[in-house]
Amino acid sequence: MSNENNKTIVTHFNILGFPSLKNLQCLLFFIGLLIYVLTLSGHLIIISIVYIDRHLHTPMYFFLSSFSFLEIWYTSNIIPQMLEVFLIENKYITYASCIAQLYFFISFGTAECFILAIMAFDRYLAICNPLRYQNLMNNKLCHQLAACSWIGAFLINIPPLVALCRLSFCGPNEINHFFCDASPLLKLSCVNPDEAELCNFIVATSVIVSSFSLILVSYILIIVSVLKIPSTTGRQKAFSTCGSHLAVVTIFYGTLMFMYVRPTSKTSNSSVIFNKIVSVFYTVVTPMLNPIIYCLRNKEVKDALKRAINRKHGLTMKPSCIRKGLIN
């Protein structure tokens, strides 16, 4: 910290993490590390399978691989620091690093909201307008939508970031969380944070509600269209293409709405621990579950995995077979 006009200006923050679980820090570190490795592996597998299997070169799986790419950055922005908190009793982070982590966190989260909304819109076009789908959702539009998700996410979060940066932090400098989120930072401000809180609330609510509304409208139209299909097999096939996405949306938006579609700095101290548990769920657990949901509930992804394994098995077996004279 530095003294300026008899005020102690914060230049770094102490990330407290989970002080009530101090005796379990080593166990939590290994559990967190395992989850992080599984998360990275799962999303990298999805990206690789979509890239190498020509059967998955469709808009639906292009957006799925884009979502997985986002999830890798999203978790890598949070989990490594959380693991450090488990190993280091007093984990310090500079003011600039804290603000940067917050900006990337909210921007990646916003981009995920946009991508999930685009995926729902893609399913709507595929099911409700199958004859025009290939022309409407072409490669150029897919890349434009993905790029707009990234650019829009980083632009729309500049106002709340600027509003937060205008606040003064003059102590204490302890963040009762495992990463730099808006709510614990607003509580540390030594000036009235209402303006920054309102800006953060408006942007977060606008992003979550607008993207969720698009998803909701898309699925209502999908359900109406599917119910008109005469055959039971046709209805089941149409719904099966949406099952994985709907499961991810339910988990993702359920936790986001609980955390961010409400005022932040006025939460009571008794809710801090519960908020951290919810934060762990949507920053650590959910990104690990998403690849499992998409792989287990999606027949095309499972078939692509089988083809990839069979190709690899064939490549490794063929030389030995040649040596044995089994293959000419």
312 in any annotated domain = no
Give the sheet arrangement for strand 91-94, strand by strand. 91-94, 12-15, 174-175
d(CA 94, CA 110): 24
d(CA 284, CA 135): 38
pLDDT at 313: 64
d(CA 236, CA 248): 19
d(CA 170, CA 2): 9
313 in any annotated domain = no
What phi and psi values does residue 165 have, to the nearest 5 degrees?
-65, -20
pLDDT at 322: 40
pLDDT at 328: 38
- Cα–Cα distance list, 118 to 52, 124, 149, 236 (Å): 23, 10, 9, 22
pLDDT at 265: 46
User: Which residues span the domain enclosing 260?
Assistant: 12-305
For residue 238, the one-letter residue type is: A
Residue pLDDT, tens place only, 294-324: 776 677 777 777 887 777 666 554 544 444 4
Query: Quick check: helix, strand or coil at residue 91?
Result: strand
pLDDT at 75: 95
pLDDT at 70: 95
The pTM of this model reads 0.86
pLDDT at 146: 95
Residue pLDDT, tens place only, 152-183: 999 999 999 999 999 888 767 888 888 998 88
208 in any annotated domain = yes
DSSP letter (8 states) at residue 17: -
pLDDT cut 70: percent of the chain above it: 86
269 in any annotated domain = yes
In the chain the first and final C-alpha atoms are separated, in Å, by 75
Q: What is the pLDDT of the chain when averaged over all its residues?
A: 83
316 in any annotated domain = no
List strand residue ranges (DSSP E) for the chain, in order: 2-4, 7-9, 12-15, 91-94, 174-175
186 in any annotated domain = yes
321 in any annotated domain = no
Residues of the chain falling short of pLDDT 50: 2, 4-6, 265, 317, 319-328
Number of folded domains that form the chain:
1
pLDDT at 297: 66
- Cα–Cα distance list, 193 to 56, 76, 186 (Å): 48, 29, 6
DSSP letter (8 states) at residue 261: S
DSSP string covering 139-203: HHHHHHHHHHHHHHHHHHTHHHHHHHHTS---S--EESSSS--HHHHHHT-SS--HHHHHHHHHH
Any idea what the CATH number is for the domain that residue 82 is in? 1.20.1070.10
104 in any annotated domain = yes
For residue 143, the one-letter residue type is: H
CA 305 to chain centre: 23
